[in-house]
C-alpha cells in the first residue's frame, strides 16, 4: 500500500497522557493514518533564530512526525501576515479587513519553498501526498518544480469565494494557477467547488473536461466537495457520561432550572460572536418572560492574538458582553457567561448535551465542526435544537437545523425562541434527520473518500524539472 504523507501548517503529535484536547483536524488526520505507515510534515509551532533546513523527526507508532521550525520573520510574514491577515479575511468575504503586504506575500512563498525542499528529500516515488489548507497553496507547485511526479491532493478547510471576491487579493492569480498543480482539490461544499472551478476558467485559458475536472497548460485538476465530518462514535460515547468533571458539575449547579444556550468558537471575526450576543439581547428584549430563565454560555478560546484585527475583536466582544450583561442582568442572573480558555473535549461534549440550544451563527465558515458535534452529543430521547447560519458549509448538510441569516438579529432571536419552545416530537424528528446523515458521512467516510479518489488519479505528468 502507498505510504500516506500529510502536510499541514501545524502538526499534532499524540499526547502521551491521552488527555490532550485534540482539535477537529487532528482527530480527522489521525483517522487517515489508521492502519498504515505515514509521515506528517509541518511547522513545529516553534520559532528559532537559525532553524535547521532539515526537519526534526519524532516516531510514534507507525507515524513519523517531521517538524520544521520557523524564524520570527517567517512566522510574522508567512503565518500572521499573508495567511491570516491577507488571505483569511478575503476567503471569509471580509475584503475590507484584508491587509496585504508584498513582504508578507514573499515570506509566504519563501516558507512554502523551504517546506517543499525539506519535504522532497523525504518523499518516496509511490507516496500519496495530502496537503492541508490555505497556508500551503503553492506547495504542490514547488514540489513539481523539484521534479516530483507523485499524486498530490489538497484539502481546503475554509471557503473558496466567488471569483470577484478572490480576485481582490493580490497574488490570487498565481495561487489559482498553483492549485492546478494538485491532482485532486477537495473543498467543503458544492458551492466552493463551483466557485473555484469558475475562478480558474475565468482567469486562464483553461478547459472544463468533465463536471469536476479542469485542464490547464497540459495539467488536470479534479475539484470536488468532500464535506469534512466528525468522529461520531467519540462524541456519542463522550456525551452521555455522568457529569464527573468539576467544570461540568459547576456549570450544571450554576444553571439551576435555567435553560442553557451554548456557543463554542475560536475567537475569530468569521464566527459572528458579537453579532450573536446582540441577537441574544434582541431575544431577551422581545421575550421578557424569558429573563432569568435562560443562560447563554459562550466559550471562545483566544486565537491569533498577535494579529491586530483579532485583538480588536476581543475588545468588541468584551464591550458588547459588558453592555448586555449590565443592561439586562439582575441580582442572581448574568445573561451571558463568557469564557476565553479552552475546555477539555469531554467537558465540551457534556455541555453540548445539556444545552437546549446550540447557537452556531458564523458570518462565513468552511464547514463548522461545532454544529456537527452539537448534534452528535444530544440525548436521543430529548435532543436540543441547532440554530445554524446559512453561511456555514454545514448548512448544506444539516437541513434539520433552524437555518438563519446571522446578519439579521431579529431572525436569530426568533429562532432562539422557536428552539426553546419546540415540542419534543419535532426536536426528535429534526435531530434524527441530521444524525442519519452524520452517521453515514462520518470521519472515516471523509478520509477514505478523499484518499481513494486521490489514489485513483492517474500518476501525473505534472513534474517540471527546474529550468
Ligand atoms: C477550520 C474551518 C472547518 C473549540 N473550542 C474548544 C474546542 N474547540 C474545537 C471544536 C471543533 C474545533 O475546535 C473548531 O472547529 P470549527 O470547524 O468549528 O472551526 P475552525 O477552527 O475555524 O476550523 C472550519 C474546520 O477547519 C475543519 O475543516 O470546519 O470551517 O474554519 O472541533 O470542538 N475544543 C476543545 N476545547 C475548546 O474550548 N477541546
pLDDT in tens, 326-361: 999 999 999 999 999 888 888 899 999 999 999 999
CB environment 262-297: b (16+ within 10 A), e (fewer): bbbbbbbbbbbbbbbbbbbbbbbeebeebebebbbb
* CATH superfamily assigned to domain 232-440: Glycogen Phosphorylase B; (3.40.50.2000)
Please report, for residues 240, 367, 439, the alpha-carbon distance to residue 232 in angstroms, rounded to integers and kept in the order given: 13, 16, 7
Say yes or no to pLDDT of 297 above 50.
yes
The dihedral of CA 326, 329, 333, 335: what is its sign? negative
Say yes or no to pLDDT of 467 above 60.
no
Grid cell in block for residue 346: 469531554
Class of domain 4-229+446-455: alpha beta
Q: Say which DSSP state 336 is in.
A: E
CA of 371 to the centre of ligand 1 (A): 10
At 371 the pLDDT is 98
Active site residues: 157, 365
* 0.95 surpassed by complex ipTM: yes
pTM score over 0.90? yes
pLDDT in tens, 133-165: 999 999 999 999 999 999 999 999 999 999 999
Beta-strand pair 385-389/402-404? parallel
Residue nearest to atom 32 of ligand 1 (CA): 24
pLDDT in tens, 287-296: 999 999 999 9
H or E segment and range at residue 454: helix 443-455
- pLDDT band of 79, cuts 50, 70, 90: very high
Q: What is the SS3 assignment for 213?
A: strand
| Residue whose CB lies within 8 A of the most ligand 1 atoms, among 267, 367, 396, 441, for a mutation test | 367
Domain locations along the chain:
4-229+446-455, 232-440
Please report, for residues 46, 47, 323, the alpha-carbon distance to residue 76 in angstroms, rounded to integers and kept in the order given: 12, 10, 34
pLDDT in tens, 164-205: 999 999 999 999 999 999 999 999 999 999 999 999 999 988
CA dihedral 388, 394, 395, 397 (to 10 degrees): -130
Measured distance CA(457)–CA(30) in Å, rounded: 23
| Residue whose CB lies within 8 A of the most ligand 1 atoms, among 304, 368, 395, for a mutation test | 368
Q: For ligand 1, what atom is nearest to the CA of residue 299?
A: 38
Inter-residue contact 298 to 277 (CB < 8 Å): yes
Give the mean pLDDT of the chain. Answer: 92
Strand order in the sheet with 259-264: 336-339, 294-299, 259-264, 357-360, 385-389, 402-404
- pLDDT band of 19, cuts 50, 70, 90: very low
At 20 the pLDDT is 46
CA of 214 to the centre of ligand 1 (A): 31
Amino acid at each position: 500500500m502507498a505510504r500516506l504523507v500529510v502536510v499541514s501548517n501545524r502538526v499534532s503529535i499524540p499526547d502521551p497522557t491521552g488527555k490532550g484536547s485534540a482539535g477537529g483536524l487532528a482527530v480527522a488526520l489521525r483517522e487517515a493514518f489508521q492502519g498504515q505507515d505515514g509521515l506528517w510534515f509541518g511547522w513545529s509551532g516553534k520559532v528559532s533564530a537559525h532553524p535547521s533546513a532539515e526537519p526534526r523527526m519524532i516516531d510514534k507508532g507507525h507515524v513519523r512526525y517531521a517538524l520544521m521550525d520557523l524564524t520570527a520573520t517567517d512566522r510574522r510574514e508567512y503565518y500572521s501576515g499573508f495567511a491570516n491577515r491577507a488571505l483569511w479575511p478575503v476567503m471569509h468575504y471580509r475584503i475590507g479587513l484584508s491587509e496585504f503586504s508584498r513582504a508578507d506575500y514573499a515570506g509566504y512563498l519563501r516558507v512554502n519553498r523551504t517546506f517543499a525542499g525539506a519535504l522532497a528529500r523525504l518523499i518516496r516515488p509511490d507516496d500519496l501526498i495530502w496537503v492541508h489548507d490555505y497556508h500551503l497553496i503553492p506547495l504542490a507547485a514547488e514540489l513539481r518544480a523539484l521534479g516530483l511526479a507523485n499524486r498530490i491532493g489538497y484539502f481546503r478547510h475554509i471557503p473558496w469565494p466567488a471569483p470577484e471576491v478572490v480576485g481582490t487579493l493580490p497574488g490570487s492569480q498565481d495561487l489559482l494557477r498553483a492549485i492546478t498543480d494538485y491532482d485532486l482539490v477537495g473543498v467543503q461544499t458544492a458551492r466552493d467547488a463551483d466557485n473555484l472551478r469558475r475562478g480558474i476558467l475565468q482567469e486562464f485559458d483553461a478547459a472544463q473536461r468533465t463536471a469536476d475536472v479542469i485542464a490547464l497548460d497540459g495539467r488536470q485538476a479534479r475539484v470536488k466537495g468532500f464535506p469534512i465530518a466528525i468522529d461520531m462514535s467519540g462524541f456519542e460515547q463522550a456525551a452521555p457520561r455522568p457529569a464527573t468533571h468539576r467544570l461540568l458539575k459547576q456549570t450544571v449547579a450554576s444553571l439551576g432550572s435555567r435553560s442553557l444556550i451554548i456557543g463554542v468558537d475560536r475567537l475569530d471575526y468569521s464566527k459572528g460572536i458579537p453579532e450573536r450576543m446582540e441577537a441574544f439581547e434582541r431575544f431577551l428584549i422581545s421575550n421578557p418572560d424569558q429573563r432569568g430563565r435562560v443562560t447563554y454560555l459562550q466559550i471562545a478560546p483566544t486565537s491569533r492574538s498577535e494579529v491586530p484585527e483579532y485583538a480588536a475583536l476581543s475588545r468588541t466582544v468584551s464591550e458588547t458582553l459588558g453592555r448586555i450583561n449590565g443592561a439586562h442582568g439582575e441580582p442572581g442572573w448574568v445573561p451571558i457567561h463568557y469564557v476565553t480558555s479552552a475546555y477539555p473535549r469531554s467537558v465540551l461534549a457534556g455541555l453540548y448535551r445539556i444545552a437546549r440550544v446550540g447557537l452556531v451563527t458564523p458570518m462565513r465558515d468552511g464547514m463548522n465542526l461545532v454544529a456537527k458535534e452539537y448534534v452528535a452529543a444530544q440525548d436521543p430521547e430529548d435532543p436540543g435544537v441547532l440554530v445554524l447560519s446559512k453561511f456555514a458549509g454545514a448548512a448544506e448538510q444539516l437541513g434539520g437545523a433552524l437555518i438563519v441569516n446571522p446578519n439579521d438579529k431579529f431572525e436569530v432571536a426568533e429562532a432562539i425562541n422557536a428552539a426553546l419552545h419546540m415540542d419534543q416530537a419535532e426536536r426528535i424528528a429534526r435531530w434524527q434527520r441530521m444524525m442519519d446523515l452524520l452517521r453515514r458521512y462520518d470521519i472515516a467516510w471523509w478520509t477514505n473518500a478523499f484518499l481513494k479518489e486521490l489514489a485513483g488519479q492517474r500518476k501525473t505528468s505534472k513534474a517540471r524539472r527546474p529550468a
